[in-house]
Amino acid sequence: MVKKSKATSGNINSNAEDLLGLDGSDWLEEVTQKLVIKTPNSTPRKPKIRKTISESVQTIKATNKIPIAIDLRSHSEPLIKPDRPANLTGHTPTKCKFRYCQLVHHSSKTASTDSSRPFIVTEQPELIWISSEEDDAGDTESDSDSSSIFDRGSGPSLQTTISSIASFIPESPSKAILSRPNSGLSPRACHTVPRPVDCDKFSVSPSRSRSYIPILPFDNEPYTSSSDLLSPSPSTLLSSSPISLSPTALKPPQTTSRKYFIIAHDKETQKLFDNIKGPVPWGAQYELARGVILKEWTWEDVREKVHNFAGKSDAEVMHLVCYVMKGVPFPKLLKNDIGQESDREQLALLENRGRGLGLLGHFQDVDNWFGGQIQQIATLRETARFTLFLQLEPLEMRRSTRFARQFGSRRVLQVRIADDFLRAQARERTIRFLSRKFVLNGRVFAPTPPKEGAVYLVEIGEDYERTSMSKFGDQHRKSLREVLEWHNPMALNSQQPISKYAARAALALSNTVPALIFEVEDIHFIEDIIASDCQENKPPAHKVLTDGCGFMNEAALKAIATALNYPCRPTAVQGRIAGSKGLWTIHPDKSVNTSEIPQIWIRDSQRKIIYPHFDSSSKHYSSLDRAHRIFDLCHAALPSLSTTGPTVSLKKQSVLNIWANGAPVELFKELMKKGLEEMIEPLMQWDGQFAMPALWDAINKTGKVSHIRTARAGAGMARALGLAGRDYSKEGSTRSETGAMSPIFSSTVTGRNEFSGAPMGLHETAIELVQAGFHPARDSILWSTLQKVLEFTVQGAIDKCNIPLPEGSSATAFVIPGEYHPLGVLQENEIYYRSSTPIRDPNTQTLFHVITGEVLVGQISTQSHLRHPEGKPSLQAVNDHASSFQFYPKVIAVDKPELAPWSDVFIVPIKPSDSGGQGLVSMMSKCSGGDQDGDDLCGTWLDSLVKSFKESPLVLEPENISSEFEDRVQKLEGFLAQIATGPDAEHDLISAFLKSLTDSNVGLYDKFHESVVRHDGYTSDEALRLAFLFNRLLDAPKTGAVLRTEVMQKDKKRDRDIKQSLEGRAQSGSQASFIFDELETFGQNLLKTTMAKFQQLPPLSERSYMLLEPYKMAQNLCQFGSIPADALAKIAESSESDPRKVERILLEARRSDLRSLEHHVDQAFLKFCSIARTNRDFEEKKKQKKGKSSQIDVMDPAVALYAQEIHGLTNTLPNIEQVKASYAYSKGKTFNFGKTVAFRTLCEIQVAALSEGGAPCSRILDQVKSVSGGARRLFQQ
């Protein structure tokens, strides 16, 4: 341990020391002890102070572990401008051979006169700024000699170590920043050095584009600790403690050409944004920058109108940015909830007490507030010249992560990456692009380890052409090193493979809700239960019988239920805490549950990250960061959605699995027909008193509209509240299917167009037309929408091979091990499930709670793909999501009264079963290789499926499957030692993290597998090989496994040969019938029958006379309108003008208004037609694309043009908005234009024309309404 050295000034801040691992901190010692290269004398030590050579120069005796050079450049403003001699009272300039260098040292007045004693600085040393030539601030890519993206400041040193800067720690980093005067120079073009320095003692040479001043004499021996690699913020390199410098000649630092990428930035505009008298809030800055990227306006336009946003809050102006900049009138209904939330987060950042993490009660009119709820998203795009850039997307409020709660939503920028950028050579280019720093409005963002194809950039304490401002909370920003160490300390977790270290980022990036904070002494760590035949020190997952499942006591689960307003205490909860993840269920020990103090028990298999201060003997932390003591809730064990809402459906590979194991094709045809008929028949029942309410309910059920609306209202809390299932979509996936940029007027946040009021979803549009009073038998506008709903429903089932199971025949839930009784309640091959809400038997129509009898169960993976169960030859297809599952051989569901307290979870036996080649394994390891960490288990007891399903023998992974992959797994410790001697260690480290950004080829191997199954059969050796390869590829981002190039090429060639063989068989008629082909043919015939039946129900007219009426009335007023007699009499009495003359003037004004209105609508119609021609293949592209359809409304420009104010109106025409919408409805061969641009107004016209009238209703109430069970029974009478 390095001994403490006394600082003369006695003014060193202990917090700064703890942060950087100096005196009084264990950080440096822990790092160096764990990550040091195994060579003699390799531990970094603090420089020793020795006597000075002269009274004006200090020296440091260098250790053999200090890197070559240090850059002390900070991100504050210089004290002395470059190219100008220093002229300070009491200081003598010392000439330097370097062109822009002016070094000054204190006079003898401030130095000790005793040459035998070390030179002592009695006050904080002044700084000389060294600046190079100005860079072109307008370039998209800007040369950056700033050292490391780990630095808080902008210094260029790449090999700064903790030990080498021990003497430069300031009293307080933030105070040092704030105390420096502003000289008006660009901070990134400046460097700082402490003075005094005798330049004659050193030989200094310029680098390529920047001035570097070597400060300390270092040898070339590599440094090895993570503290060396992750250098601290240069803004902290100031101190009043003694400094010693050796006269030994210095070498220039090893640097590389680093570049910023400018997402959006303008130097002059940024000065206006940061104007202390009237700053522009961050949300408004973001929207202004987004508009510049979209080329909707320029930075010059922004500067002209920035006064509209200066000095305002985001709640006041953020939602108005696009309208102010485009000169468009504000819509009537405009939400500013994101702006309000942005203001709350900003206040929390300034408060700097961790309020964003949640659990601090009421804040800014919100109960139980927590932060991190706003998403800043950028999409990776490519220009026509194949240059990569980042496109900012509209701000969203869909989720909240621990990462964003800790650092603030505005500090995190998610980069979505399409799969095309991660394939072949494009992947390397993408990684190189993302390995740099990015600038958005003067703020610098650095990449962190990715998650599921998305890279999260975090704002670090560095600025680009702006000055750090405490008013914005800039002093609270962290360096990238601090961010990484906060989440996953490298020294303590150095035995993790690099890929696993990167994958651990997911623990802080999952969509969670802070639910409960535990005291550190109430967080216990316990061992797993292991299969008795396991001899390994580190048991494999299939030998861990409790893999991923821990305990909570009753008090903890009750507290979570209270915090989330659950109707009852859940049996189990899924979440993240203390570097651990998984599932926690109620502790079986009743004595533990008597305590009123919340407690948690974490299994070894759940623990993914180790933090400091852990006592391995007591299995407790002595201290733990508050963020890591909060239980971040993902989901709770609530009644299965299949018993309370959407039913479970069989999808493509589930159907293939069951068919391959004995189920006949006719069974699937019957299930498909019955399930679709139950959905589509009510859509064509239009007669009767309650026909329209029944139609509303049928559309709602088919499209799950109420479910989607409630989940949308719940935003990031939807899944935690049980309002939505797991989101299986890839985080990096882009929302645009066509590659088009998001329009500046975006509808993605609210789910409806802000101008026209039209919902974005097809089913939601149909529902709102029904409730507005439209009737499909009379109104073509609803008839055509229903036609699309029917086609979408049937075609969707065909494309995805989506076969709904009858309600009450299946359930999905968490799975937990049944270890609650020492003697064992469940035997091998038994399961237990009890629903807290009654399930209706589809055959007997009776209600039950506990499942009994034979059940098929399957694991739903947490990934977007489902696994191959080891017990069966099976493969889950790409993009089969929450409602599809794979099956394990039949199990027996039993009723065990002892297990009644554990409801809404599947309980599997703790007893292992014999797998043959792998010995004793857990039941879940057979079922898709799953565990109990929160993956869902699905079970179906549908009699026709269960009876036809034939069990298959267990299939083990081939022994040679590992040889198909390259051996590239490298531990973090070894990699850090390897890159320590490189010229750019930090860049190498980040690039290594980004290597997990990959297209793992799972989609390609899914296609390979299907081709082989068609050609050789489901149980062929090649089909099994591809199935296991598929599973390995699923885990590749975590394991670092890389498929050998020659294997890929061989499989591609084999696939081409198989396809040619299949084509030959098809031509000769020798190809056997395949399940998907038969279901495709059956489905298409069903679709034709359905649509033919619907075509026999045409509407009475193409256009609704009710919707045309306002325009016709306006025409009549312009032709024959007259002033009422009483009005004419009053005019005659009060004026000498001829009343008839007044009447003519009035008619002309009306005609002028109508002409202006028609011209305005005609222009919008032309725009509409132009977009339709340009995007004529848009719908076809969407049909060809798999996955989510685009949420971007390509007609937004036409809608915005229609919504613009019509200038010059005299307002003599009544109901001008209705007249405008009515005329729009009359345009074109169809009504699509009017429906697109004036949806809300057309609905208002229809409601007003109803004989029974309409009922006023607020939007929020309309969004949460649904049809009760009693009303549904009434409809069916």
Query: Has residue 441 got a pLDDT over 50?
Result: yes
For residue 1216, CA distances in Å to 367, 1205, 1212, 1223 come to 43, 12, 9, 11
**Mean pLDDT computed over 42-47:** 37
269 vs 1119, higher pLDDT: 269
753 vs 292, higher pLDDT: 292
**Most confident among 198-202, 984-988, 1050-1054 (mean pLDDT):** 1050-1054
Q: How confident is the model at residue 1123 (pLDDT cuts 50, 70, 90)?
A: low
122 vs 276, higher pLDDT: 276
**d(Cα 370, Cα 356) in Å, to the nearest integer?**
5
Q: Hey, what are 810's tokens?
A: 């299946």
Closest CA to 830 of 809, 850, 807, 860: 850
**Mean pLDDT computed over 401-423:** 94
**Mean pLDDT computed over 704-729:** 71
Q: What is the pLDDT of residue 394?
A: 93
Question: Computed from CA positions of residues 1049, 1053, 1054, 1056, in that sequence, does the dihedral angle turn out positive or negative?
Answer: positive
**Cβ contact 758:765 at 8 Å:** yes
Class of residue 277 by CB neighbours under 10 A (exposed 0-12, middle 13-18, buried 19+): exposed
Query: Has residue 1127 got a pLDDT over 70?
Result: no
Query: Has residue 741 got a pLDDT over 70?
Result: no
Q: How confident is the model at residue 708 (pLDDT cuts 50, 70, 90)?
A: confident
**Mean pLDDT computed over 512-520:** 97
**Mean pLDDT computed over 569-594:** 93
Closest CA to 1192 of 570, 526, 294, 131: 294
Q: What is the pLDDT of residue 74?
A: 38
Backbone angles phi, psi at 385, to 5 degrees: -95, 15
Query: Has residue 20 got a pLDDT over 80?
Result: no
Q: What is the pLDDT of residue 646?
A: 53
Q: What is the pLDDT of residue 1132?
A: 64
**Cβ contact 339:282 at 8 Å:** no
**Single pTM value for the model:** 0.76
CA geometry: angle 483, 486, 492, nearest 5 deg: 120
Q: Which residues of 839-863 are buried (b: 16+ CB within 10 A; e: fewer)?
A: beeeeeeeeeebbeeebbbbbbbbb
- Hey, is 1197 helix, strand or coil? helix
**Residue type, position 645, single letter:** G
Predicted confidence (pLDDT) per residue in 646-667, tens digit: 567 888 878 888 898 889 999 9
Q: Hey, what are 32's tokens?
A: 């160096």
Of 197-206, 473-482, 699-708, the least confident: 197-206
End-to-end CA distance of the chain: 84
**Mean pLDDT computed over 780-784:** 92
Could you tell me what percent of the chain has a pLDDT over 90?
A: 38
**d(Cα 219, Cα 240) in Å, to the nearest integer?**
26
Class of residue 140 by CB neighbours under 10 A (exposed 0-12, middle 13-18, buried 19+): middle
**Residue type, position 1253, single letter:** G
String of DSSP letters for 542-564: GGBTTTTEEEE-HHHHHHHHHHH
**Mean pLDDT computed over 154-170:** 34
**Cβ contact 678:746 at 8 Å:** no
1138 vs 1178, higher pLDDT: 1138
Q: How confident is the model at residue 886 (pLDDT cuts 50, 70, 90)?
A: very low
For residue 1259, CA distances in Å to 168, 1262, 1265 come to 59, 5, 10
Q: What is the pLDDT of residue 121?
A: 39
729 vs 1163, higher pLDDT: 1163
Of 635-644, 967-976, 1264-1273, the least confident: 635-644
Closest CA to 197 of 327, 71, 102, 75: 102
Q: What is the pLDDT of residue 498?
A: 86
Question: Computed from CA positions of residues 554, 557, 563, 567, in that sequence, does the dihedral angle turn out positive or negative?
Answer: negative
Predicted confidence (pLDDT) per residue in 295-331, tens digit: 999 999 999 999 999 999 999 999 999 999 988 888 7
Q: What is the pLDDT of residue 728?
A: 47
Q: How confident is the model at residue 640 (pLDDT cuts 50, 70, 90)?
A: low
**Mean pLDDT computed over 161-170:** 32
Closest CA to 873 of 777, 778, 1013: 1013
Query: Has residue 413 got a pLDDT over 50?
Result: yes
**Cβ contact 60:243 at 8 Å:** yes
Q: Hey, what are 935's tokens?
A: 């993956």
Q: How confident is the model at residue 882 (pLDDT cuts 50, 70, 90)?
A: very low
Predicted confidence (pLDDT) per residue in 47-93, tens digit: 333 333 333 333 333 333 333 333 333 333 343 334 434 343 444 44
**Residue type, position 610, single letter:** I
Query: Has residue 476 got a pLDDT over 90?
Result: yes
- Hey, is 804 helix, strand or coil? strand
Q: What is the pLDDT of residue 643?
A: 53
**d(Cα 291, Cα 41) in Å, to the nearest integer?**
56
**Mean pLDDT computed over 33-51:** 39
Q: How confident is the model at residue 171 (pLDDT cuts 50, 70, 90)?
A: very low
For residue 815, CA distances in Å to 832, 927, 938 come to 10, 11, 9
**Mean pLDDT computed over 780-791:** 93
Q: What is the pLDDT of residue 129?
A: 35
Q: What is the pLDDT of residue 715?
A: 72
**Cβ contact 358:632 at 8 Å:** no
- Averaged confidence pLDDT in the chain: 75
Q: What letter does residue 54 receive in the DSSP assignment?
A: B
**Cβ contact 1215:1111 at 8 Å:** no
**Cβ contact 661:560 at 8 Å:** no
**Residue type, position 901, single letter:** P
Query: Has residue 988 got a pLDDT over 90?
Result: no
Query: Has residue 175 got a pLDDT over 80?
Result: no
**d(Cα 176, Cα 79) in Å, to the nearest integer?**
13
Q: Count the residues in the chain.
A: 1277
The backbone region for 10, taken as left when phi is positive above 0, alpha when psi lies in -120 to 50, beta otherwise, is left
**Cβ contact 985:230 at 8 Å:** no
Q: What is the pLDDT of residue 39?
A: 40
Predicted confidence (pLDDT) per residue in 236-249, tens digit: 333 333 333 333 33
Predicted confidence (pLDDT) per residue in 758-778, tens digit: 998 899 999 999 999 999 998
418 vs 956, higher pLDDT: 418
**d(Cα 350, Cα 653) in Å, to the nearest integer?**
52
**d(Cα 432, Cα 353) in Å, to the nearest integer?**
37
Helix, strand, coil abundance in the chain, percent, nearest 5: 40, 15, 45
Predicted confidence (pLDDT) per residue in 1006-1017, tens digit: 889 999 999 999
Predicted confidence (pLDDT) per residue in 1077-1117, tens digit: 999 999 999 999 999 999 998 877 778 889 999 999 999 98
Query: Has residue 1140 got a pLDDT over 70?
Result: yes
Q: What is the pLDDT of residue 729?
A: 52
Q: Hey, what are 52's tokens?
A: 């000075």
**Cβ contact 584:552 at 8 Å:** yes
Q: Hey, what are 749's tokens?
A: 């946040």
Q: How confident is the model at residue 1205 (pLDDT cuts 50, 70, 90)?
A: confident
Q: What is the CA radius of gyration of the chain?
A: 35
Query: Has residue 738 got a pLDDT over 70?
Result: no
Could you give the maximum distance between any two Cα atoms of the chain, in Å? 113
